[in-house]
Amino acid sequence: MDLELPDGTILSLPDHATGADAAAAIGPGLARAALAIKVNGETRDLARALPATNGEKPAKIEILTDRSGDEALELIRHDTAHVLAEAVLELYPGVKISIGPPIEDGFYYDFDFPDGVSINESDFEAIEARMREHVAADEPFQRQDVPVGEARERFGAEDQDYKVELIEDLVRNADPAHPLETVSLYTNGPFTDLCRGPHAPSTKRIKAFKLQSVAGAYWRGDASRPMLTRVYGTAFFSTEALEEHLERLERARANDHRRLGPQLGLFTFSEVSPRAAFWLPAGTEVFNSLVALSREMGRERGYVEVKTPQIYDSQLWKTSGHWDKYRDNMFITEYEDREMAVKPMNCPGHCQLYSLQRHSYRDLPVRYWEPGLLHRREPSGTLHGLLRVRHFAQDDSHIFCTEDQIQDEVAGVLDFAFATYAIFGLDVRLELSTRPEVRIGSDALWDLSEAALQGALDAQGLDYELNQGDGAFYGPKIDMHMTDSLGRSWQLGTCQLDYNFPERFNLVYTGADNAEHRPVMIHRALMGSYERFIGILLEHLGGELPVWLTPVQATVLPIADRHLDYAGSVRARLVHAGLRAEVDARPESISRKIRDAELRKIPYLLVVGDRELEADAVSVREHRHGDRGSMPVGDLIRDARARVESRSTN
């Protein structure tokens, strides 16, 4: 058989050769390092026979090793999940096993322990010790395809009910034209699991692993089914890589916005309005500062601010297509025999607003902007602090323009985005997402809109990745992603091109020929939701917001009660200069006041005592930078204002 290597070289092997044979034919070093083989994009065990070409084009192959990035990590994490199940079965007789897939950054396995038996993180040491024994034993992962009935009987005899149910589901969901006859089992040492694979050659390829946490998980995600015990873990190819990962996790816990927000007095939550933030005064300052930034930068770029209703007749959502595609995520009510819904997005309302006025080609582009309040009926299990909530506000804009204005408008959106992110020191990468399977509109319109976005990117010479099938249901989009200080990727903003909504809402403008023409619509949000953007910023910066964004920019710390009046006068001058300042008048020691202000991450700590009073000065201590010495109040104000007005990063 002939096989094509990644560099285009043709490798000839005997019929029935395996992936291991292919690796050995390329070189002995690769044979020793090989973990699996990709055949025409499908990852397979090295021990499986390669497909014969039968006169067709050679199959494309790639040998995976520990240098193959995420694909290789996913492989050994799946291996480690099997070793975890193997160890738990040995240590806890009678336990039932369900599923154990690799996931982002690790793996998990779900267990049903016998009555009266439970585990927690204190049990991890013993489980890991048993796992290390199986890793050291170099147990081969051996695949066996067995008849469905034989597999069902085997797991039934072992009282593994979840495995029997999985087999029955596989049979039931198979194509009726091709009934399922066999299922694959993988065995390592004494342990056999129902699994489609693939796996590395043996357990010894697992170099470093760590069990991390225990959680509850309903079987099949169904609250009416048994609650299982989910054990999470991770695995790497070296102890060093594992330690780096665990250190990042520790930093992530320290930077978790759900911890930082209440600690800094920014926001809290209450079950009277589940998973909607209650913004405290300090957090409201941060929130309003971001809205003010959007307003200021938008005004400079020709955006006009609008305000639209919160609740609309269902007909609006039927026209937009959201009633069919998004209804389960909308809060719906009835009033005076009319079915109404609270808006989960602003675009249909902006289409309605555009339609309520007449527009000439001379008016276009029309750039609406609204920091609109939105509500979405998100499932409880998907909610996460500020990152996913049920009530939020977006820096939402919709541009109505002519076709020949598309490139300039998209370029303007991207320029606006880059300028916004630069203020926060964020580097972004672009992703062009094309038509999804479930969508509205004709293929001709999608061809037109995808070509327009791609043309706008190419015209500016911008690098971007192609993300096939991930566009919005009404149009393709350019998404903007950043990588934070902990190496995590976040989507920040989006620019979506839409020919469909103007068609569905019958939007028109009068052209130079005095005839009616259809505008094109661009959906644009740069921060996404303000809530989510604040959550991302807090985690990226560890709560160290830049001076212009901090809710309290300076705190005046009087040494004794006799300095209170002077402290108050300093604060008044700071506030008059446009700075957010306070006085810490508590009867605490100055060291305690400094420590508390540092914990609140206030940028300027201004100590005042007898010498400062006499000199009309303040003793300046900057958060994280220490003492700057005595400074006239006027100089301090100029320094702080310069940092605020320039919106400098820390």
Q: Which residues are catalytic?
A: 347, 376, 394, 396, 398, 477, 523
Do 340 and 314 touch, CB atoms closer than 8 A? Answer: yes
Centroid of chain to Cα 8: 36
Instruction: Tokens for 488, please give them.
Output: 């995590």
What token pair was written down for 203? 């357990």
- Listed in sequence order, the residues at least 6 apart from 588 whose beta carbon sits closer than 8 Å to its beta carbon are 596
What residues does 558 pair with on adjacent strands?
Answer: 608
Query: Both tokens of residue 604?
Result: 């300027």
The rounded distance, in Å, linking the Cα atoms of 280 and 265 is 7
CB 409 within 8 A of CB 519: no
Output the six-digit token pair for 409: 């408008």
The encoded tokens of residue 361 equal: 């080609």
Greatest extent of the chain over all pairs of C-alpha atoms, in Å: 96
DSSP 3-state assignment of 387?
Answer: coil
8 Å CB contact between 444 and 435: no
Closest C-alpha to 219, from 123, 98, 392 = 98
Strands 338-342 and 332-335: antiparallel
Contact criterion met (CB below 8 Å) for 457 and 432: yes
- Could you give the CA distance from residue 206 to residue 189 in angstroms, rounded to a whole number? 15
**b/e sequence 437-467, b meaning 16+ C-beta within 10 Å:** eebbbeeebbebbbebbbebbeeeeeebeee
Three-state SS sequence of 130-154 = HHHHHHHCCCECEEEEEEHHHHHHH
- 159, 423, 563, 590, 593 from 587: Cα distances, Å: 68, 39, 12, 9, 9
The DSSP bridge partners found for residue 464 are 430
Burial call 370-382: b when 16+ CB within 10 Å, e when fewer: bbbebbbeeeeee
